[in-house]
């Protein structure tokens, strides 16, 4: 169990096992001992002998592992795609606020309903692009 705690602590702190502090090791060890390993054992993903500190994977863990690895790859791709769309939507919002501010100050390059129309066109364009990317 000590090996598991050290590796998880290293992952959590983005460091190597050799560079971990004893506090970092201990926090992870306690969480594994008191909570995470018993829950995994309850779901038959591991066999866990608490008194000896021995942890072993079960065949069910091997079946579940492939789904977790696929989810990690998908979530990384989704995050980069989501980040791109957050930037587009943020840019559209800033542009719209700028247009509204210019209209409020009477400096708008477009008069009257033109500002509302321009803002609507901006958001429709971003929304159509987002929907199109989600379909891919």
Over residues 85-113, mean pLDDT: 81
Q: What's the pLDDT score for residue 21?
A: 93
pLDDT tens-digit profile of 5-27? 999 999 999 999 999 999 999 99
- Which residue has better confidence, 102 or 66? 102
How much of the chain, in percent, has pLDDT values that exceed 70?
Answer: 88
pLDDT tens-digit profile of 28-52? 999 999 999 999 999 999 998 888 8
Q: Which residues pair with 48 in a beta bridge?
A: 55
Over residues 89-104, mean pLDDT: 84
CA distance 2 to 54: 9
CB 9 within 8 A of CB 25: yes
Q: What's the pLDDT score for residue 95?
A: 86
pLDDT greater than 70 at residue 74: no
* Residue ranges covered by each domain of the chain: 2-57, 65-135
CA distance 96 to 125: 13
The total of other beta-carbon atoms located within 10 Å of residue 85's CB is 14
pTM above 0.75, yes or no: no
How much of the chain, in percent, has pLDDT values that exceed 90?
Answer: 24
């Amino acid at each position: 169990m000590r090996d598991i705690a050290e590796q998880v602590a290293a992952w959590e702190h983005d460091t190597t096992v050799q560079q971990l502090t004893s506090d970092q090791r201990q926090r992870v060890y306690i969480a594994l001992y008191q909570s995470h390993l018993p829950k995994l054992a309850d779901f038959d993903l591991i066999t866990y002998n608490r008194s000896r500190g021995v942890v072993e994977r079960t065949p069910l863990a091997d079946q579940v592992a492939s789904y977790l690895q696929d989810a990690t790859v998908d979530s990384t791709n989704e995050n980069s795609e989501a980040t791109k769309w957050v930037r587009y939507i943020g840019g559209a919002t800033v542009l719209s606020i700028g247009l509204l501010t210019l209209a409020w100050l009477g400096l708008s390059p477009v008069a009257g309903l033109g500002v509302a129309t321009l803002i609507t066109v901006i958001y429709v364009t971003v929304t159509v692009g987002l929907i199109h990317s989600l379909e891919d």
